[in-house]
Chain A
């Protein structure tokens, strides 16, 4: 049984349709990249998985259990965590409180404050400042740590590298193997195609709300990817 199975997903913002008949699969422990131009529907896909956007589908199941019309909070409790676009730390919470609230649903597992600080030592000294007082890279680390605190089996990363300096991006991407080694499945949404291809077992390329191309990075040529990315 796959971890996540999506068949024929349509997603809507009011009258506007952002995804059209989308199919998506994810196996346990697998890392999948979702790439596509701005506005292609990548964020919407992640929102549909976490129940944050109005969506209909034939199948939307997590470990065989339908999550079609479940509350976001319930889906998170099943072991899905999101690192949202733009980090979205809580400004009135300190860094440590931001991490702690990641574990709100109380799912047991291997992650703890201590282990998050081991993974991101820079955060330890900054634990009591407001989340918004951090640099962009530290904010991204906090957002990742916050997601880990829920002990997820699946993490959805939205635009990890957006707005960060290349050295910081490198540092952030270095923790993905550590998370993967815990057996956590990942969906990595990226505009930086090379980064995405490096970490992914498989790639989904979205174009204007539809699936344009999918396959293993090794099987796809650059030309096919850029054709799918930009549309030809």
Chain B
């Protein structure tokens, strides 16, 4: 038992060192990388961050939301509103969108927390639909056909295109690192144990004195904060927004497939899932629909055969955890499986 603990600590120490080196290398990309590479990396960063946040919600908070696109789109629209109507500096909209998204998530939580378990999932989806249809009605934001960022707002990021690209790149990298580090620290804190306990058994955790409602609410708000901020960043890179793209369920589809295939309930899982998603996407992009079908079939198979995902298989086989946080409590079940 002792040797096991030492072993994982060493793995995690190696993991941390590799992560630190990797971050340093990634920081230098704007000086040597080309534009396409940077664009791809930015996309990887924000998808990875979104996947981590969804994993925090579903994998630890037990809040399976299929409506996180509500906050992505909201963050995107907040960018446009803050820039165009309030004249806020473009980059500053990212943290502000996060804060406003967190504030708006409170009344949303008030509604969807009335729905338990499975129903919660679809309830969040309804909320996202309301956002989609609602924003499409707002004429000042271009209605259903959306709007573009003014040139001045783009220029305000940095004068030259290269500097703009670099700024956006560093911002995306910072967000991804901050999200992962934040979740890691959160899970290592005493809240982490509470969350894991809730995810494993609501009843048992209640008997342990965990305040389920408060812990879940906190996770929901944190996820809304991060997702809205990332939403603003995404639309800084996209420049154009429409309700149907901003509130597209496919955001959440992608995120869920990444987390499920990589491994739900671990920090490593979404990283593995994101890498696989982008590695396969490049060669399979021409097959469009079939790529989604393949992901769907893989996700279903993983959920049935290896519910902890590819990372779960790997870490069980080699007993390795790069980001060790408290593991699941195993409780007996009432019936024979099956």
Determine direct contact between A and B, CB below 8 Å. Answer: yes
CA separation between A52 and B333, bound complex, in Å? Answer: 11
B338's nearest neighbour on chain A, judged by CB, is A71
A52 in contact with B332 (CB, 8 Å): no
* Residue in B332, B336, B337 whose beta carbon sits within 8 Å of that of A16 in the complex: B332
The SS class assigned to the B binding surface is: loop
Task: Find chain B residues with CB under 8 A from A54 CB.
Answer: 336-337
**Is B332 a contact partner of A13 (Cβ separation < 8 A)?**
yes
Residue pair A15, B332 in contact (C-beta under 8 Å): yes
Quick check: B336 and A14 within 8 Å, CB to CB?
Answer: no
A13 vs B336: C-alpha distance when bound (angstroms): 8
Expressed in whole angstroms, the minimum distance between the Cβ of B335 and any Cβ of chain A is: 6
A53:B336 contact, CB within 8 angstroms? yes
A13 contacts which chain B residues (CB < 8 A)?
A: 332-334
Q: How far is the CA of A13 from the CA of B330 in the complex (A)?
A: 11
Beta-carbon contacts under 8 Å, A45-84 to B: 51-54
* Residues of B close to A14: CB separation below 8 A: 330-333
A53, B331: Cα distance in complex, Å: 14
- Contact for A51 among B330, B331, B334, B336, CB less than 8 A: B336
Instruction: Tell me the complex Cα distance, A67–B109, Å.
Output: 50
Q: What is the bound-complex CA distance between A16 and B334, given in angstroms?
A: 12
Q: Which of B320-338 contact A (CB under 8 A)?
A: 330-337
Q: Which residue of chain A is the closest to B335 with respect to CB atoms?
A: A52
Q: Which residue of chain B has its CB nearest to the CB of A12?
A: B332
Q: What residues of A have a CB within 8 angstroms of the CB of B330 in the complex?
A: 14-15
**Would you give the shortest CB distance from A9 to chain B, in whole angstroms?**
14
Which residues of A are found within 8 Å of B335, using beta-carbon distances? 52-53
The residues in B between 290 and 338 inclusive whose CB is less than 8 angstroms from any CB of A are: 330-337
Measured between alpha carbons, how far is A11 from B132 in the docked complex, in Å?
Answer: 53
- The minimal Cβ–Cβ distance linking B203 to chain A, given in whole angstroms, is 15
Kindly state the separation between the CA atoms of A15 and B328 in the bound complex, as whole angstroms.
14
Looking at chain A's contact residues, the main secondary structure is: loop
Query: For A16, what are the chain B residues with a Cβ–Cβ distance below 8 Å?
Result: 332
Name the distance in Å between B32's Cβ and chain A's nearest Cβ. 53
Cα-based distance from A119 to B90 in the complex (angstroms): 82
Most buried by A among B334, B336, B337: B336
- Least CB distance, A85 to chain B, in whole angstroms: 13
Bound CA span A15–B332, Å: 7
Nearest Cβ on chain B to A49's Cβ, whole angstroms: 13
Q: Which residue of B lies closest to A13 (CB)?
A: B332
A69 nearest CB across to chain B (Å): 9
Question: In the complex, A15 Cα to B330 Cα: how many Å?
Answer: 8
Contacts of A51 in B (CB 8 A): 336
How distant is the Cα of A15 from the Cα of B337 in the complex, in angstroms? 13
Give the shortest distance, in Å, between B291 (CB) and chain A (any CB).
39
Residues from chain A with Cβ under 8 Å of B337 in the complex: 54
Contacts of A12 in B (CB 8 A): 332
A52/B336 in contact, CB under 8 A: yes
Please, what's the 1-or-0 string for B67-108, where 1 marks a CB less than 8 Å from any CB in chain A? Answer: 000000000000000000000000000000000000000000
User: A54 to B338, alpha carbons, bound, how many Å?
Assistant: 11
Q: In the assembled complex, how far is the CB of residue A71 from the closest CB belonging to chain B, in whole angstroms?
A: 9
Inter-chain CA distance A101–B82, complex, in Å, is 64
Q: How far is the CA of A12 from the CA of B336 in the complex (A)?
A: 9
- Nearest-Cβ distance from residue A61 to partner chain B, whole angstroms: 18
Q: Give the chain B neighbours of A15 by CB distance below 8 A.
A: 330, 332
CB-defined contacts of B333 to chain A, threshold 8 Å: 13-14
CA distance A53 to B333 in the complex (A): 9
CB contacts (< 8 Å) of B334 on chain A: these are 13
Bound form: Cα–Cα A53–B336 in Å: 5
Kindly state the separation between the CA atoms of A14 and B336 in the bound complex, as whole angstroms: 9
Assembled-state Cα–Cα distance A15/B333 (Å) = 10
Q: Which residues of A are found within 8 Å of B331, using beta-carbon distances?
A: 14
Question: Chain B's nearest CB lies how many Å from the CB of A205?
Answer: 25
Could you say which residues of chain A place their CB within 8 Å of the CB of B332? 12-16
Complex CA gap A52/B335 in Å reads 6
Shortest Cβ gap from B266 to chain A (Å): 21
Residue of B nearest to A53 (CB): B336
**Residues of the B chain whose Cβ atoms lie less than 8 Å from the Cβ of A52:** 335-336
The distance in angstroms between the C-alpha atoms of A51 and B330, with both chains bound, is: 22
- For B330, B333, B335, B337, the residue with the greatest tally of chain A CB atoms inside 10 Å of its CB is B335
For residue B334, which residue of chain A has the nearest CB?
A13
Q: Beyond the given A12-B332, A14-B330, A14-B333, please list 15 additional residue pairs across the A-B interface where CB-CB is below 8 A.
A: A13-B332, A13-B333, A13-B334, A14-B331, A14-B332, A15-B330, A15-B332, A16-B332, A51-B336, A52-B335, A52-B336, A53-B335, A53-B336, A54-B336, A54-B337
- 6 tightest A-B CB contacts, nearest first: A14-B332, A13-B332, A54-B336, A16-B332, A14-B330, A14-B333
- Enumerate 18 A-B pairs (CB-CB under 8 Å) in ascending A order: A12-B332, A13-B332, A13-B333, A13-B334, A14-B330, A14-B331, A14-B332, A14-B333, A15-B330, A15-B332, A16-B332, A51-B336, A52-B335, A52-B336, A53-B335, A53-B336, A54-B336, A54-B337
